[in-house]
A = this chain, B = another copy of it.
């Protein structure tokens, strides 16, 4: 089934201990779409500038991603500059040039109207809300946000949260959103804001899902939390997009399944970790463009091996 994702398609200039790249293709929607494309059909809503070339578009189309909804505008694409020189766990933003994103008005192509799964990647909650309201009949809505929107756009974000089935954020964001340091208490506060499930990403330590006491989308998912591992990696070349790739693997797998059961949700968290682990192996989206389904399946088995008492029975 199809996922519609709205978010940034952008260029990133990144510095990590492994090197420097200038204006490589990036953006939350790009990482998400590439990761999800290994599981299901993906359609993208975004805006790019005149610097977005047919070669850039081919990165999407080669993976079968529908680019009809990528609007071309005069000017330059969104450009992010960041450094991980001090700490691979957290990017230091050196520059954010919104460019064409500043006046973006998301428009949904008629051909996207039957999308069953909606992903609101990390952009202005006002834009997230506009897309959500144009897709009233989707089966599921999943979304992301970041510290900037939590701190200064709380009212707009609150409206989006009320409409979410699953919110995927990291530890710091969950604690900030809840104003609570304890992760279990923070998750209860965040779930009270609307989402039926909260997936908290812990970077190199994996991710934890917390579930609302309300039945989750009719799935009968339990209210117990669930923890999925991350793969211990000896080399992280570029952490940019790891969270979006996690979301893409998670939601892509979920959307590929006929029914949302607790086991499907758990398995989706493992696939999230799998795609996140690939994303950081190379700069930008390089690894996500070239990974094979066989490599994904092998790494999924590796995730079972490193986390299950007897993985042969998992």
Chain A residues with CB under 8 Å of chain B are 88, 181-185, 187-188, 202, 204-206, 208, 210, 222, 224-229, 232-236, 263, 266-267, 270, 302, 304-310, 313-314
Contact = CB atoms under 8 A, between A and B. Distances in A.
B304 A314 contact: no
Contacts of A266: 309
Contacts of A205: 202, 205-206
Contacts of A309: 263, 266-267, 270, 304, 308, 314
A309 B226 CA distance: 9
Nearest to A233: B184
Contacts of A210: 232
Contact of A234 (B182, B206, B263): B182
Contacts of A181: 88
A227 B314 contact: no
Nearest to A181: B88
B232 A184 contact: yes
A206 B228 CA distance: 11
Contacts of A306: 224-227
Contact of A313 (B233, B267, B305, B314): B314
Contacts of A185: 234
Contacts of A88: 181-182
A236 to B, nearest CB: 8
9 contacts: A182-B233, A182-B236, A184-B233, A206-B206, A206-B227, A208-B232, A225-B232, A227-B229, A267-B309
Contacts of A228: 307
Nearest to A229: B227
